[in-house]
Homo-oligomer: A and B are copies of this chain.
């Protein structure tokens, strides 16, 4: 039971793009206990793609190919499958109709070049793509199967989950493994690592992975065995990690900090507003990334200019004059102003020096104040000093603000 992945696209061979689809695929295949034994990236050349499919099939019975199914002249995976299987292809009228329909629903005529997406190689089965115009290809070989999926991650993932994975599990499944991801926001990787060290030691026979991105640390847990057995093991490990990081694990698996915060606001029947300077709309954008956020998100102000802070948020000019825009006092007044203006139960604010310019000896780049105003409570403010560049400082600040709200709603008022 082994899999090989082939990623198609000349851009993946240059100096700036990596095949990240394979990470997700490796994770999914791993759930079925199927290891990926090799990966290859190949350019937009039908002969070369066919050679890679051939080589991959020699190495593993399960081959997943991503990319090269678009409508343009350099999308050549269909042609490669024809070359690999040695069979002719023809336009499938049903698929052509479906593609035409997709365009028609958007009120436009199908461009002529999209026609080739309806080409089907004899002996292969098209895989429906509910999110895009590129159908996938399912091909049975003597050695196993080849599944070709689009390179667009959202289309690839959905088609793999709905059409390819169940079929692979049915045919090849080895004993399953369960995974769980525990997520921590606005805490550094080494700080997390230090606290969870004893848990690692206790469960030393198990493999944990710690993964850090800006403003978030993830603990990846894996357990083999039947789902109930594995779940019990993961529960026991989770308990230990929660004890090592009290109140700091905000969610698991597909949770995002904003989805967890949103769900809690909904439970409380509470509303939220934002007042952002250095984050420039990032906090509001993350909150509204969550479908249904209009249930609890009232709105926000991006107050970039100082007179917007006074005019739109009611920050007092004297506060700005005495303490500056990046100060505890300004952060507090921004949050309180947004709460009042939008009539919300909670309001988050952020003001800081995101850089690269604008730093001073007293307030160097990376100096940030966040505040949380809450109905019936005292406004709280926190100073942050995230390291890194402009994008990192902004992202970390947004996470820290959302985490401040989450912890407050969870009753963990102090840090």
- Residues in chain A within 8 A of chain B (CB atoms): 10-20, 22-24, 26-27, 30, 35-45, 48, 51-52, 55, 59, 70-74, 102, 106-107, 111-114, 131-132, 154, 189-191, 193-194, 200, 207, 209-212, 220, 274, 276, 279-285, 287-289, 291-294, 297-305, 308, 311-312, 341-342, 354-358, 385, 387-392, 394
The answer to whether A37 and B15 touch across the interface, beta carbons within 8 angstroms, is: no
Complex partner residue of A24 from B15, B111, B292, B391, CB under 8 angstroms: B15
23 A–B contacts from the bound complex (CB under 8 Å): A11-B220, A13-B35, A13-B36, A16-B211, A18-B23, A38-B40, A102-B387, A111-B190, A111-B191, A280-B285, A281-B283, A281-B300, A284-B302, A288-B302, A289-B391, A291-B354, A291-B355, A291-B357, A293-B304, A298-B305, A299-B312, A301-B302, A305-B342
Q: In whole Å, how far is A396's beta carbon from the nearest beta carbon of chain B? A: 12
The answer to whether B39 and A40 touch across the interface, beta carbons within 8 angstroms, is: yes
Interface contacts beyond A14-B220, A18-B22, A39-B40: sample of 15 additional A-B pairs, CB < 8 Å, sorted by A:
A13-B26, A13-B39, A15-B23, A16-B209, A18-B19, A37-B48, A38-B43, A106-B387, A113-B190, A280-B288, A288-B302, A292-B357, A294-B305, A299-B304, A299-B305
The answer to whether A14 and B30 touch across the interface, beta carbons within 8 angstroms, is: yes
| Residue of B whose beta carbon sits closest to that of A37 | B43
Q: In whole Å, how far is A194's beta carbon from the nearest beta carbon of chain B? A: 6
The answer to whether A299 and B303 touch across the interface, beta carbons within 8 angstroms, is: yes
CA A311 to CA B106, docked complex, whole Å: 34
The answer to whether B15 and A27 touch across the interface, beta carbons within 8 angstroms, is: yes
User: Copy number of this protein in the oligomer?
Assistant: 2
The answer to whether A38 and B30 touch across the interface, beta carbons within 8 angstroms, is: no
A38 partner residues in chain B, CB cutoff 8 A: 13, 40-43, 48, 52
Complex partner residue of A297 from B71, B194, B304, B390, CB under 8 angstroms: B304
| Residue of B whose beta carbon sits closest to that of A292 | B357
Q: In whole Å, how far is A37's beta carbon from the nearest beta carbon of chain B? A: 6
CA A392 to CA B282, docked complex, whole Å: 17
The answer to whether A193 and B288 touch across the interface, beta carbons within 8 angstroms, is: no
The answer to whether B16 and A18 touch across the interface, beta carbons within 8 angstroms, is: no
CA A74 to CA B193, docked complex, whole Å: 11
The answer to whether A48 and B52 touch across the interface, beta carbons within 8 angstroms, is: no
A297 partner residues in chain B, CB cutoff 8 A: 280, 304-305
The answer to whether A299 and B298 touch across the interface, beta carbons within 8 angstroms, is: no
Complex partner residue of A301 from B72, B289, B301, CB under 8 angstroms: B301
A106 partner residues in chain B, CB cutoff 8 A: 385, 387
The answer to whether A41 and B39 touch across the interface, beta carbons within 8 angstroms, is: yes
CA A36 to CA B40, docked complex, whole Å: 12
Q: In whole Å, how far is A242's beta carbon from the nearest beta carbon of chain B? A: 20
A132 partner residues in chain B, CB cutoff 8 A: 387
| Residue of B whose beta carbon sits closest to that of A193 | B72
The answer to whether A291 and B193 touch across the interface, beta carbons within 8 angstroms, is: no
| Residue of B whose beta carbon sits closest to that of A35 | B13
Known: A11-B220, A209-B74, A282-B281. A299 touches B301 (CB 8 A): yes
